Amino acid sequence: MVSYRTEAEVLMRSIQDAISSGLEQEDGGARFHEDIWEHHSGGGGRSRVISRGKVFEKGGVNFSAVEGSLPAFLGPHITPGASRIFATGVSIVIHPTSPLVPIIHANVRYFESDKGDRWFGGGIDLTPVYVVDAQAAQFHRTLKAACDTLDAGAYQRYKQAADNYFFIPHRNETRGIGGVFYDYLKPGESYSFEQLFQFTQTIGSAFLPAYLPVVQAQKHLPWTPEEKQWQLIRRGRYVEFN
């Protein structure tokens, strides 16, 4: 079996480094604090947290590359008889201080089983407390350009998946303006491993150009205590999306 775990881990580390650096530069004050940890069954990660910055109140850009016994929920997606899994990825949540700067979430990930199963997943979505239509359009244009590198229909598929995923039916409410979301993208008839690897790199690289123009347009605008309170209420809904 050919393993790509080393290449995938290097990719995820580079994505974490680029995004951490870009956010630090944008904040202009706070820096990420890093904790390096080990997983009990193999591998580990680098957790990076920024807090009390000029722009970002708190956020994490976290990398992991771990291995262990196969979780039962992955059974339907892999070859029978697989018992071990390797997973690596980057997960991001950024909460700005200003209620006028949107919250953002993103992740990219790669899995590999001991029976040769391989797949990618990921996505980016934006949660403005106050929506600015032109900025929402710019955010989605950037994601569409990234998705177009895979195929012409990718953006619409993955946008719809994000819209479905980040929706509370009992409130008839979305988490924000959406984005793109994909999972279980496996090499096969439609895409080669190299295409999916490059696509994941492209999605990771799209984070800063999708997000920073919105931050730059909003971060210096004055805001009121009432707007801050609404931001806190919106944050309180997050548990419902999880």
Burial annotation 101-115 (CB, 10 A radius, 16+ → b, else e): bbbbbbbbbbbbbbe
Q: Is the pLDDT of residue 236 over 90?
A: no
Active site residue 170: no
Question: Which whole number is the average pLDDT over 192-204?
Answer: 97
Confidence band, pLDDT 50/70/90 cuts, at residue 119: very high
Please provide the size of the chain in residues.
Answer: 242
- The predicted pLDDT at position 118 comes to 94
Higher pLDDT, 237 or 57: 57
Residue 148 falls in which region: left (phi positive, over 0), alpha (psi -120 to 50) or beta: alpha
Q: Is the pLDDT of residue 15 over 70?
A: yes
Please write the tens of the pLDDT for every residue from 73-108. Answer: 888 888 888 889 999 999 999 999 999 999 999 999
Q: Is the pLDDT of residue 242 over 70?
A: no
Report the predicted TM-score, pTM, of the whole model to 2 decimal places: 0.94
One DSSP character per residue, 117-183 reads: -EEEEEEEEEE-SS--HHHHHHHHHHHHHHHHTT-TTHHHHHHHHHHHHSEETTTTEESSSEEEEEE
Q: Which two tokens stand for residue 216?
A: 């730059």
Q: What are phi and psi of 52, to 5 degrees?
A: 55, 40
Q: What are phi and psi of 102, to 5 degrees?
A: -70, 150
Q: Which residues are CB-neighbours of 23 under 8 A, at least 6 positions away?
A: 32, 50, 56, 59, 61, 94, 208
The residue from 33, 77, 105, 140 that is catalytic is 105
- The predicted pLDDT at position 18 comes to 98
H or E element in which residue 190 lies: none
- The predicted pLDDT at position 74 comes to 85
The identity of residue 72, as a single letter, is: A
Listed range (71-85, 173-187, 206-220) with the worst mean pLDDT? 71-85
Q: Which residues are CB-neighbours of 218 under 8 A, at least 6 positions away?
A: 98, 100, 101, 102, 132, 135
Which one, of 126, 146, 240, 154, lies nearest residue 201 by Cα? 146
Question: Which whole number is the average pLDDT over 156-185?
Answer: 91
- CB of 41 within 8 A of CB of 70? no
